[in-house]
Amino acid sequence: MADILYDFGTGRSDPETFPVKALQEAATTVLEREADALTHYPGGLGHAGLRRVMAARESEREGVPVDADNLVICNGSMQAVTLTAQALQEQKGDTVIVEAFSYPGTLSAYRGIGYELVVVDLDEGGMCMNHLEETLNRLQAEDRLPRFIYAISTYQNPTGFVMPKARRLEMIALARRYGVPIIEDNCYADVHYEGPVEPAIYALDDDPNHIYLCSLSKILAPGMRLGYILAKPPMLEKFLARRFDAGSNTFAAAVVAEFYRNGIGAHAEVSNKLLKEKRDLTLELLSTHLQDVCVWSHPPGGLFIWVRMPDDVDRKKLWDESQAAGVTYLPGAAFHWQNQNVPYLRLAFGHLTKQQISAGLPLLARCIQSSRSSNEPRQFEDLFSG
């Protein structure tokens, strides 16, 4: 197999803007200042300094006060996904509602924990509320109401869609009516390029059942393994009670808290600028090479573009040819709740150089063309219908 030179598969932020020097300085500062804290176990909530900085991050974005004592620092937001799901489960086979296409890490975790996934349709505004209502109604009649609704409502993975405020309010009303908590995964918050920033669920409604997850992987680096849960008591205590790892890495948290001591804005401005250029370049190349063949999302933030291909693309052939050409991507099946072989793929553009994007995308486009059984122009105009 050829070496993979063009990896459109992995959802990582941009390595070029990773702030090595500033983190070195922060590490020196915290080793001198917080050596004693490193000789202790951190405890369930985690590093107080990072919790304060992340509470300020949330509060500034959302315009509501956020209490640092309601934040639980986790080993990436993936631990937050897992911990919250474990704590809310009553028995194996409990149901949980997810979007029709969702983050594979979450789908695997929920399956592994023993949840039955129930999907709700997705459109350009995120989870469809009519279908959510219908689904909740049906599950209630079957006495199988979900333990929670999992929604990636901003820069959704894989589609990049954002749920508008009006729809968020509908989701809140439905969740309240059926007594079901919402877990909002806002992993891509602050990877923002243009347009309005829609409010987080917790900023729209102070119901203590709302649970919010966020990450530092996408604004800084996944190797830091830092993320958090934001929740109110008594929900918060449920999560802490299920935590058996004595807390998250104090050193990583302290370094990042020091790096972001004046807020996340300055670094986000630098990294988002470059990420936006890469998104724009990817969109432009898609238009140049696949205009008549595919349609794709135009995400106002996040790290992904969701591409719909004609049904006549032989997906196995496409995969084999792309790998042989040194290009990789994530196939639509990875995001499907049953891993169905759907005619989609996800392009991650954040960590590639612009040169790699410029060279890799035309190769992928050629593989898509040559994996088709016809040369007909596509028969669909948008990502989902027809």
- Which residue ranges make up the site for ligand PLP (CB under 6 A)? 11, 76-78, 81, 103, 105, 152, 157, 185, 187, 215, 217, 222, 227
HSE-up (13 A, CA, CB side) for residue 23:
12
Nearest approach, Cβ of 249 to ligand PLP (angstroms)?
Answer: 13
Nearest approach, Cβ of 55 to ligand PLP (angstroms)?
Answer: 18
User: Where do the H-state alpha helices sit in 69-128?
Assistant: 76-88, 104-113
Nearest approach, Cβ of 101 to ligand PLP (angstroms)?
Answer: 11
Nearest approach, Cβ of 102 to ligand PLP (angstroms)?
Answer: 8
User: Based on CB atoms, which residue is closest to ligand PLP, 152 or 256?
Assistant: 152
Give the pairing type, strands 327-328 and 330-331. Answer: unpaired
Closest-CB residue for ligand PLP?
Answer: 76
User: Based on CB atoms, which residue is closest to ligand PLP, 225 or 289?
Assistant: 225
User: Based on CB atoms, which residue is closest to ligand PLP, 187 or 290?
Assistant: 187
User: Based on CB atoms, which residue is closest to ligand PLP, 145 or 212?
Assistant: 212
**H or E stretch covering 308:** strand 304-308
**Alpha carbons 84 and 158: distance in angstroms, whole number:** 22
| Sheet architecture: strand order including 149-151 | 71-75, 226-230, 211-215, 182-185, 149-151, 95-99, 116-120
**Alpha carbons 109 and 249: distance in angstroms, whole number:** 22
**Alpha carbons 294 and 268: distance in angstroms, whole number:** 32
User: Where do the H-state alpha helices sit in the chain?
Assistant: 20-33, 35-38, 48-62, 76-88, 104-113, 129-141, 165-178, 201-204, 235-241, 250-259, 265-290, 315-324, 354-370
**Alpha carbons 329 and 6: distance in angstroms, whole number:** 9
Nearest approach, Cβ of 120 to ligand PLP (angstroms)?
Answer: 16
User: Based on CB atoms, which residue is closest to ligand PLP, 101 or 289?
Assistant: 101
Nearest approach, Cβ of 321 to ligand PLP (angstroms)?
Answer: 26
User: Based on CB atoms, which residue is closest to ligand PLP, 215 or 297?
Assistant: 215
